[in-house]
Chains A and B, each alone.
Chain A
């Protein structure tokens, strides 16, 4: 049985609860063990990184140092966590002064960072460790005729693109296709969802989110499928305001793990499908 350490980060315990539920359900059903890292803390995320870089590294590396005690890869489903943890590893490897600083900080907590743990995205694990063949074998009720827009967001491919193409990522497309559904040709895969601008500069943020949703809908997608809890929240949560400013769009925004779970025949309730602000009922209809 494949085993990984699981670093949820804050999103998967909060706004991204559906992501956690569906991820854990799918991995369980695939006989892949995800064990939550004990006593994990905030990854530092982008906000902290832009305020105080060195503390941010120390924060992130604490998680890695704890994870290193076990000789397992770390799965970080949230794009922000995934990016920050990877960036931390890279910086610690390349910059001895940062490493020194972090080592000192960790020492105070009785920890030591060696740089041995690999930080992986669940997509990477599904495609490269589990394999599409195995996934296909587990599909019980393929989502025949369903059309989705695969939306990756920025942090999974920028600045590093460790397991997929930077401009035209395709790993999630493959999962969606394995689930029996269709991917609409979608050139906005890695465009900005509006990010935190929806909060700070709503005019720009909303417009960006609107473009993403409108184009998906125009291309015949019944839902946007994403892998990032921040994108999901942005695209799902602001459709009311978008309706006020532009037009009604009403497009569900799902996690790829929910789509895969459905195709694997897992019950919708276990996949958190009831949690979306825009109802996924249309997608579930006829199942």
Chain B
């Protein structure tokens, strides 16, 4: 009996939700486990880095790596798995786009460290001690990974074959990806494994979207009693659905919350935030600068709103200074 394909899971800068998503496969996970040999899965199984290092290059059929890349350790593991794997699947919004961690790209590394180790309320650090990458203690050397200057998506560090979008990816698209991998029915390299069309396609509220939105204001979800049937944009809420790839079956709109864009853009769009702005703001009501500005004031944090998951993939990549 030939060896079962080897599969690795790894997490970088992530919340763990992607790991949950794998577990959420429920009974299906058993089918997966049956079909493959898992050779790395820090969250669930006891393998060491050295175990992976010991494997021949390219001997792992597929590595599923979630999370953004912030530290040298994450970089190192990503590179190692890349070396050992035939296919790397970038798993989830953080790996694909930088995700929530990438919002930190609005700040300089020094500002972040200063805040976390000095200025943050509740921090007691009169000596202004900072973690060091190398510490000697009682004659022994301890090392910590390097905190990088910015958060990167996985493909900004290593080459990636496929992307599974979502925060986290839904069991359905994970299973579809696994099946495709196992059966070898693989799309071209670089494909995002989810329909290449925007979310409105699958949104149950689609029919209630008026042809002419003509928004005169924007509101945040806590400011409105959200109508559970009606298009969320039509309720003056920023719903990123039109600029976001489908595949989640409109989970958030179904849960009465606007889409925040975790599936990223379609393949035709380079910059999800810019494209959304181009779309929705073209058609707001005012024509004069003061009137336009008043509408824009309804969105106090444009970067955090339009690049909630995608700041690493913004064409500018990060705040410049």
Is any CB of A less than 8 Å from a CB of B in the complex?
A: no
Chain B residues within 8 Å of A, Cβ to Cβ: none
Chain A residues within 8 Å of B, Cβ to Cβ: none
